[in-house]
Amino acid sequence: MALLFSSQGDDADLWRHNMATELPDLDFRVWTPDGQDIGDANDIEYALVWKPRKGALKEFQNLKAIFSLGAGVDHLAGADLPKGVPVVRLVDRGLTQGMSEYVAYWVLHHHRRFDAYADMIAENGWQRLAQKDAHGRRVGIMGLGVLGRDALEKLKPFEFDLAGWSRTPKTIPGVKSFAGEDGLQEFLKRTEILVCLLPLTPETTSIINAQTLALLPEGAYLINAARGGHVVDNDLIEALDSGHIGGATLDVFHTEPLPDDHPFRAHPKVHLTPHIASITMPETAARAVADNIRRIRKGEPPEPVVDPETGY
């Protein structure tokens, strides 16, 4: 009865400590790139992983579940996982909350024109700029899963004019919902602040491109906190340079860390953060993983189980 932990970016000791608090009897084994001994492969019943080596998890015959260390599972696509073993997405209060903090902050940043104020103050200026009322500020979120819905709930008290877009129609009180190919055009045309929280799937790859950006109103703002693959970088840069898009906040990129010579790096209209919108905090996430292990031990299925190839 052991759990195999494998990740380059997560703190193994912190996870070990927090998992021990939840499940003192669980044998916690860390798999490192230098091939540290992890004991008998047949002991491994659970894998808690980020970007495992292709085919690597196939050697564990008794694997009952593969837990993603993040909300997304696209890092598991192409990993050649053992067939029949459920892949479980991380749904964690801390993860969801962190994302909603990030979204609310950058929506308010654009809504209240803090870039314009910072520029003005840097030049010793001092004046009030025209300010739109939140009732008239149209914010749109792409992706209405756990993260998108929570972000909308956090934005509601500010009384923004909220809309959401997803693959299939969703009903969320107080939010105008759009769905599918047809709904996308209408959704983009009305969205002044666009937030991308979609899963990365073949259908959503490159969804933010020259055509879709052109549908947004003049001066619209983009917040991408999903995956770099959702955005066609050159199309976004052209839209920013033409002035059609007023600015962007990007947390995720095709290559991370973002290369030093990437045009986003020095772009005056782009705010960058190093993939920190939503941070898996072992303090809260260990509980979510442990709850699923307890479910499996009782013979119940873990949740939410997803297909890494489609993303949902």
Which residues sit at the interface with its own copies, rule CB under 8 A?
Answer: 9, 94, 97-98, 100-102, 104-105, 108-109, 111-112, 114, 117-118, 120-121, 124-129, 131, 133-134, 153-154, 157-159, 256-258, 260, 265, 271-276, 279, 281, 283-284
Kindly tell me the burial class for residue 65, based on how many C-beta atoms sit within 10 Å of its own C-beta (0-12, 13-18, 19 or more).
buried
Query: 275, 287, 294, 297: which is the annotated catalytic residue?
Result: 275
User: Helices 282-297 and 93-111 sit at what angle, rounded to 10 degrees?
Assistant: 140
In the residue annotation, 275 being an active-site residue is answered as yes
CB of 127 to its own copies, least distance (A): 6
Closest CB to its own copies among residues 86, 94: 94
44 vs 285, which CB is nearer to its own copies? 285
Give the C-alpha separation, 275 to 292, whole Å: 26
Nearer to its own copies, 104 or 237 (CB): 104
d(CA 28, CA 19): 8
Residue nearer to its own copies on the CB measure, 87 or 162: 162
Rounded distance between C-alpha atoms, residue 163 and residue 142, angstroms: 9
Exactly one of 29, 110, 167, 227 is catalytic; name it: 227
Tell the smallest beta-carbon distance from residue 48 to its own copies (Å): 18
CA distance 237 to 268: 11
- In this complex, which beta carbon is closest to its own copies, that of residue 105 or of residue 312? 105
Shortest Cβ 19–its own copies spacing (Å): 17
Beta carbon of residue 83, minimum distance to its own copies (angstroms, whole number): 34
Asked if residue 2 lies in contact with residue 27, where contact means CB atoms within 8 angstroms, the answer is yes
Residue type for position 263: P
The residues near 106 (Cβ < 8 Å, ≥ 6 apart) are 195, 223, 249, 271
| Range list of β-strands (E), the chain | 2-6, 27-30, 44-49, 65-68, 87-88, 138-142, 161-166, 176-179, 193-196, 220-224, 245-250, 270-272, 305-306
Instruction: Report the Cα–Cα distance between both ends of the chain, in Å, rounded.
Output: 28
**Contact of 32 with 73, CB cutoff 8 Å:** no
Q: Find the shortest distance in angstroms from Cβ 234 to its own copies.
A: 21
Annotation marks residue 267 as catalytic: no
Catalytic residues: 227, 275
